[in-house]
A and B are shown apart, each in its own frame.
Chain A
Amino acid sequence: MRHTLAVLVDNKPGVLARVSGLFSRRGFNIESLAVGVTENPEISRMTIVVRGDDRVLAQVTSQLGKLIDVISICDLPSSESVDRELVLIKVSADAITRSEIMQIVDIFRVKIIDVGTETLIIEVTGNQGKLRAIREMLERFGITELVRTGMVAMNRNTKTVNGDDT
């Protein structure tokens, strides 16, 4: 089972190494990890997608909680949160296939951000389902390069992942 964790950490050097090192030495599998600073410049937020049953999730959460630089950990169930990922896809495109690809891009409401004589670069933002769908559509043209940011996620409504010790 996949779990999405929002982890608030001190925005300090070495924190990413502490977190990723913990995952590797405890044998937890990270599916993706995205990190960036929050509205508070002292705090960074990691969105970590892990695969495992409830026991694994409990271990991941409590082991992460032991890291001094980790401020809070919040499980984001997909029913109560929204998630997005940005992907850049470089796809082969010649004069014949280009228009067909552009149609797909229109249907998915994504963007072409670079056009070359033999390739296009497409910027896709969306949830995991949309990313999978467009990738499947583009595969037959030949995807020559693909880069993903990793998923970010947020609670719906007023609920926040609050790290302040109030």
Chain B
Amino acid sequence: MTDATISGAKALIECLHNEGVDTIFGYPGGVLLPLYDELYDADIRHILVRHEQGAAHAADGYARATGKVGVCLATSGPGATNLVTGIANAYMDSVPIVAITGQVPTPLIGNDAFQEADITGITLPITKHNYLIKDVNDLPRIVKEAFFIASTGRPGPVLIDLPKDITTDEIEFKYPETVRLRGYNPDTKVDTDAVKRAASMILQAQRPIIYAGGGVIISNTSSELLKLAETINAPVTTTLLGIGAFPETHPLSLGMLGMHGTRYANYAVQESDLLIAIGARFDDRVTGKIDAFAAQAKIIHIDIDPAEIGKNVRVDLPVIGDARGVLQLLLSHLREKQGKPIARSGAWLGKIDAWKNKYPLQYTPSDTVIKPQYVIKEIHKACPDAIIVTEVGQNQMWAAQYFQYEHPRTFITSGGLGTMGYGFPAAMGAKVACPDRTVIDIAGDGSFQMNSQELATVVKNDIRVIVAILNNGYLGMVRQWQELFFEQRYSHTELTGSVDFVKLAEAYGAIGIRAEKPSEVPSAISEALAADRATIIDFVVDPTENVFPMVPAGAAINEILEQEVTG
């Protein structure tokens, strides 16, 4: 092979093989013709989406379900710009994807050529790094670097822009074995002194709480987190992206904190004297009014990204490093000092248990109209081990609150960007990655319509995902805010009569099921679980149901709105 040259297109396929890529989500176009011609025979599964945004989200869902790098591919110009939302979404949630875009031939770049867009310029602020390949000889190195950058350190999306002439230029192919980047070294050494100080702060604390974020899942640190919580006898609350990092059935679990978090998680944070943040970034949806957040607590912030330290809150002790390495070291220090679980005074956990009993998550059940919370609980009952993917809005919050997650990578959601339309294609990506798992997209009628075209993709490729639409005929979360804060002026949030989701499913060759009464919910779920095709369940739910508890934007997280519950 050393003498022979191959085309850039073929070289790219070879690079992908070298990176262990088995699946690409993509959409062809003019400048990608040479590459797609190579893909025709390649030993890589290419899933043809129906919109490039679907490809980006599918790559994202694939990555979150497995921890591997997801790959999406789109043509120049509009194909590339259609990836943008998906890339921004992956960037906000630190998801490793490599996005490959076609580009007009290098001599035409900058000439406003047909289907030209400056996609490296456009994605500069929403990628961890990006590349425009100008010489085919750089291609193997760039692909190697792209996968390395995407998957190491704090992961994130990397874009490679590939001009058409580069795909036809010839290269003597050799895949580099190592990466050498002067300005990037993700191997952070854990600061032993900082970890020692953390250990002594923990031993001194009376009311500690662990606040775990998506970083725990990304770094595969769940078992260390469990050990830490049990060793120091501290309750654990997770962010939206941290859901699954700690088993929610565990007595020390407080569920999610923040705007729609449990009351007991928020109260515990506010009364704690030590907040141990692990792989979390103090987002405004978590902290509420920042000055009032955990005001009595000292804060230990464990994060791999130094730029997160002190970005939003003052931190008493930063510990930079991979969460797993830090927690392992922390555990060994704690064990040295303390052989058995810390016998902290029972008052703190007792107080928390009292809050748990007094302020559980609650809603008013109904025999006549389907409550969305009931749907989530029934889904959990039917398949507790499913991978749950969500859209964005009320559906997402109910899925976060009412399904009890036990394992990492079982809850996949768009946290930072809050991308409506994310869930369905991401579920598709998760199902492709984990074909033996049940994958359910908890959707709203609004969000689902943003990428419903991917029904064609899941049917054609036999990707058996279930979409559970909590159909309330509204953009529910916006409607909720209008009800609470805008005098019930429901400006442009009503969606009733949009589409018959059962017929829509059937039009694409999927199965459509409708449930209109609470009694129909369990059978609809079991029917979908037994189906031999992708299935949509249209749950016609109570349109007036709101997500509670709720901390209004800008309020302190213990200033909680709650609903009256009957029955």
Contact status A18-B128, CB under 8 Å:
no
A165 partner residues in chain B, CB cutoff 8 A: 182, 185
Q: Digitize A144-162: 1 where CB-to-B-CB distance is under 8 Å, 0 elsewhere.
A: 0000000000000000000
Q: Is B305 an interface residue (CB 8 A)?
A: yes
B128 partner residues in chain A, CB cutoff 8 A: 66, 68
Closest residue of B by beta carbon distance from A64:
B307
Return B219 CB to nearest CB of chain A, in Å: 17
Q: Please report A residues at the B interface, Cβ cutoff 8 Å.
A: 9-10, 14, 17-18, 21-22, 25, 55, 58-59, 62-63, 65-72, 163-165
Contact status A14-B120, CB under 8 Å:
yes
Select which of A10, A18, A59 is within 8 A of B124 by beta carbon. A18
Q: Considering the chains assembled together, what is the distance between the CA atoms of A60 and B120 in angstroms?
A: 23
Q: Is B380 an interface residue (CB 8 A)?
A: no
Q: Considering the chains assembled together, what is the distance between the CA atoms of A67 and B127 in angstroms?
A: 10
Q: Considering the chains assembled together, what is the distance between the CA atoms of A62 and B309 in angstroms?
A: 9
Q: Is B176 an interface residue (CB 8 A)?
A: no
In chain B, positions 292-325 with a C-beta closer than 8 Å to chain A are 305-307, 309-311
A66 partner residues in chain B, CB cutoff 8 A: 128, 305, 307
Select which of A14, A25, A59, A164 is within 8 A of B311 by beta carbon. A59
Contact status B310-A58, CB under 8 Å:
yes
Contact status A62-B183, CB under 8 Å:
no
Q: Is B184 an interface residue (CB 8 A)?
A: yes
Closest residue of B by beta carbon distance from A72:
B183
Q: A17-B121, A68-B128 are in contact. Are A9 and B183 (CB under 8 A)?
A: yes
Select which of B149, B181, B307 is within 8 A of A63 by beta carbon. B307
Contact status B182-A21, CB under 8 Å:
no
Q: Is B196 an interface residue (CB 8 A)?
A: no
Contact status A25-B306, CB under 8 Å:
no
Contact status A10-B182, CB under 8 Å:
yes
Closest residue of B by beta carbon distance from A42:
B182
Contact status A68-B125, CB under 8 Å:
no
Q: Considering the chains assembled together, what is the distance between the CA atoms of A70 and B182 in angstroms?
A: 8
Return B106 CB to nearest CB of chain A, in Å: 13
Contact status B307-A62, CB under 8 Å:
yes
Return B259 CB to nearest CB of chain A, in Å: 24
A70 partner residues in chain B, CB cutoff 8 A: 183
Contact status A59-B183, CB under 8 Å:
no
Closest residue of A by beta carbon distance from B153:
A66
Q: Considering the chains assembled together, what is the distance between the CA atoms of A70 and B183 in angstroms?
A: 5
In the assembled complex, 22 residue pairs joining A and B whose CB atoms fall closer than 8 Å, in A order, are A10-B182, A10-B183, A14-B120, A14-B132, A21-B124, A21-B125, A22-B125, A25-B125, A58-B310, A59-B307, A62-B307, A65-B306, A66-B128, A66-B307, A68-B128, A68-B129, A68-B149, A68-B181, A68-B183, A68-B184, A70-B183, A165-B182
Closest residue of B by beta carbon distance from A69:
B183
Closest residue of B by beta carbon distance from A54:
B310
Q: Considering the chains assembled together, what is the distance between the CA atoms of A90 and B132 in angstroms?
A: 42
A67 partner residues in chain B, CB cutoff 8 A: 129, 183
Select which of A18, A62, A164 is within 8 A of B306 by beta carbon. A62
Closest residue of B by beta carbon distance from A163:
B182
Q: Considering the chains assembled together, what is the distance between the CA atoms of A67 and B305 in angstroms?
A: 12
B307 partner residues in chain A, CB cutoff 8 A: 59, 62-63, 65-66
The size of the chain B interface, using a CB distance under 8 A, is: 19
Q: Considering the chains assembled together, what is the distance between the CA atoms of A70 and B306 in angstroms?
A: 15
Closest residue of B by beta carbon distance from A15:
B183
> What would 12 more interface pairs be, CB under 8 Å, given A68-B149, A164-B182?
A10-B183, A14-B132, A17-B121, A18-B124, A55-B310, A62-B307, A63-B307, A65-B307, A67-B129, A68-B181, A68-B183, A71-B183
Q: A14-B120, A17-B124, A21-B125 are in contact. Are A71 and B309 (CB under 8 A)?
A: no
A68 partner residues in chain B, CB cutoff 8 A: 128-129, 149, 181, 183-184
Q: Considering the chains assembled together, what is the distance between the CA atoms of A68 and B311 in angstroms?
A: 20
Return A151 CB to nearest CB of chain B, in Å: 23
B124 partner residues in chain A, CB cutoff 8 A: 17-18, 21
B183 partner residues in chain A, CB cutoff 8 A: 9-10, 67-72
Q: Considering the chains assembled together, what is the distance between the CA atoms of A67 and B184 in angstroms?
A: 8
Closest 8 CB pairs of A and B: A62-B307, A62-B306, A68-B129, A71-B183, A71-B182, A68-B184, A63-B307, A70-B183
B310 partner residues in chain A, CB cutoff 8 A: 55, 58-59
Q: Considering the chains assembled together, what is the distance between the CA atoms of A164 and B431 in angstroms?
A: 45
B132 partner residues in chain A, CB cutoff 8 A: 14
Closest residue of A by beta carbon distance from B121:
A17
B184 partner residues in chain A, CB cutoff 8 A: 68
Q: Considering the chains assembled together, what is the distance between the CA atoms of A22 and B120 in angstroms?
A: 14
Q: Considering the chains assembled together, what is the distance between the CA atoms of A1 and B524 in angstroms?
A: 64
A163 partner residues in chain B, CB cutoff 8 A: 182
B305 partner residues in chain A, CB cutoff 8 A: 62, 66
Return B78 CB to nearest CB of chain A, in Å: 23
Q: Considering the chains assembled together, what is the distance between the CA atoms of A65 and B128 in angstroms?
A: 12
B306 partner residues in chain A, CB cutoff 8 A: 62, 65
Closest residue of A by beta carbon distance from B120:
A14
Q: Considering the chains assembled together, what is the distance between the CA atoms of A164 and B185 in angstroms?
A: 13
Q: Considering the chains assembled together, what is the distance between the CA atoms of A63 and B310 in angstroms?
A: 12
Closest residue of A by beta carbon distance from B125:
A25
Q: Which of B128, B182, B184 has the most CB of A within 10 A?
A: B182
Closest residue of B by beta carbon distance from A21:
B124
A164 partner residues in chain B, CB cutoff 8 A: 182
A17 partner residues in chain B, CB cutoff 8 A: 121, 124
Closest residue of A by beta carbon distance from B154:
A66
Q: Considering the chains assembled together, what is the distance between the CA atoms of A14 and B120 in angstroms?
A: 9
Closest residue of B by beta carbon distance from A22:
B125
Return A56 CB to nearest CB of chain B, in Å: 10
Return A72 CB to nearest CB of chain B, in Å: 8
Closest residue of A by beta carbon distance from B181:
A68
Q: Considering the chains assembled together, what is the distance between the CA atoms of A66 and B183 in angstroms?
A: 8
Return A93 CB to nearest CB of chain B, in Å: 43
Return A78 CB to nearest CB of chain B, in Å: 24
Q: Considering the chains assembled together, what is the distance between the CA atoms of A21 and B305 in angstroms?
A: 20
Return B185 CB to nearest CB of chain A, in Å: 8
Return B147 CB to nearest CB of chain A, in Å: 13
Q: Considering the chains assembled together, what is the distance between the CA atoms of A117 and B310 in angstroms?
A: 58
Q: Considering the chains assembled together, what is the distance between the CA atoms of A34 and B181 in angstroms?
A: 24
Q: Considering the chains assembled together, what is the distance between the CA atoms of A138 and B305 in angstroms?
A: 49
B309 partner residues in chain A, CB cutoff 8 A: 58, 62
Closest residue of B by beta carbon distance from A65:
B306
Return B565 CB to nearest CB of chain A, in Å: 43
A25 partner residues in chain B, CB cutoff 8 A: 125
Q: Considering the chains assembled together, what is the distance between the CA atoms of A68 and B183 in angstroms?
A: 5
Return A89 CB to nearest CB of chain B, in Å: 35
Closest residue of A by beta carbon distance from B156:
A66
